[in-house]
Amino acid sequence: MQNDALQYKTFFLKEDKYNGFTLDNKKIICDKKDFKKNIEELIFTLTKEKRKLLWIPLDIEQSSYIPILTKLGFTFHTCEKNKILLVKELIQNSIIPTASNHTLGVGVVVFNDKNEVLLVKEKYSNMGFKLPGGHIDDGELITSAVSREVKEETGIDVVFESIVSLGHFFPHQFNQSNLYILCIAKALSSEINIQDTHEILECKWIDIKRYINDEDAFAYNKEIVKIALKQKGLKQKEFDSFRNTLKNYELFF
C-alpha cells in the first residue's frame, strides 16, 4: 500500500496529516465475515507501514460492525445521535485527539431604554428569575444562538453586542465540562411573548437597580449584570483574510 493510495481491497481510505487513515464507511460493500477479514489484513498492512491510527466512522445502520471492531482493539472516540467514530492505535502511545468533552451555552443580558433588564423563570428550576439563554446548537454561531435563545424564551428580538464574561463549570450535563458565554444584546422589540412554553414559566422586564438590590436574586447573574453596565466587552470583528474561508467563524476582540 503506497503513501498516496486511497483504496485497499474493498475499502476506500482517506489519509490525514498525522500519518493515519480514515475508512469511508459509505463504501463498505462486504458482509460481516469479509469485513472482519479485510479489516484484519488492513490493520496488518498499515502497522507494517508504521501508520499510527485507523479511524472508522459508522452510521447507526452499521452498528453490527461494532462488536467486530472492538474485538480487534478499536475503542470509541465520539458518538452522535446516528453515528459513532471508532479508532485503533496501530503504534502504541500514538496521540489521539481529545474527543468532544464540553457543552456550550449562552446567557444574555438584554437592556432596554427604560433602564430595565430582561429576565426569565424556568419551569423546572428553583433559581427564580435568571438571564435568558441556553445551549448553543451544533454548528451554530454564538451570535445566532444569542438571538435564537432570547427569541424562544421571551419573544423579544435582539441583536448581539458583545461578550462580557466566560464561565467554566464541571461536572455539568453528562459529566462533561460546560463553557457558559455571557453576552450583551440590544433589544429591538419590547413585547414579551414566550415561545418555549414547555421550559419557560414567566418572563418580565425589571428595573436594573431593583434587580441588583434583590437579595433573593441569584448572585452570579447579578454580578454579570453589574459587569455589563460597566464594561463594553469583546466586540465581534470581521477580517478580510477570512472572508473566503469555507468555515463559519466568529472573532471577538
- Domain architecture of the chain: domains with CATH: 7-89 (3.40.630.30), 102-230 (3.90.79.10)
Which of 16-20, 49-53, 64-68, 87-91 has the least mean pLDDT? 16-20
Q: Which three cell numbers stand for residue 13?
A: 481510505
How high does pLDDT run on average in the chain? Answer: 93
State the DSSP H helix or E strand holding residue 150, giving kind and residue range, or none if neither. helix 142-154
* Helix (DSSP H) and strand (DSSP E) numbers for the chain: 5, 13
Question: Could you give the CA distance from residue 157 to residue 146 in angstroms, rounded to a whole number?
Answer: 10
The C-alpha cell 437597580 sits at 209
- The pLDDT tens digits of the residues spanning 136-191 come to 998 999 999 999 999 999 999 999 999 999 999 999 887 889 999 999 999 999 99
Instruction: List, in sequence order, the alpha helices (H) in 173-249.
Output: 208-212, 219-230
- The pLDDT tens digits of the residues spanning 120-144 come to 999 988 889 999 999 999 899 999 9
Decide if 181 contacts 104 (C-beta within 8 A). Answer: yes
- The pLDDT tens digits of the residues spanning 3-33 come to 455 787 789 999 998 899 999 999 888 888 8
pTM, full prediction:
0.84
State the DSSP H helix or E strand holding residue 12, giving kind and residue range, or none if neither. strand 11-15
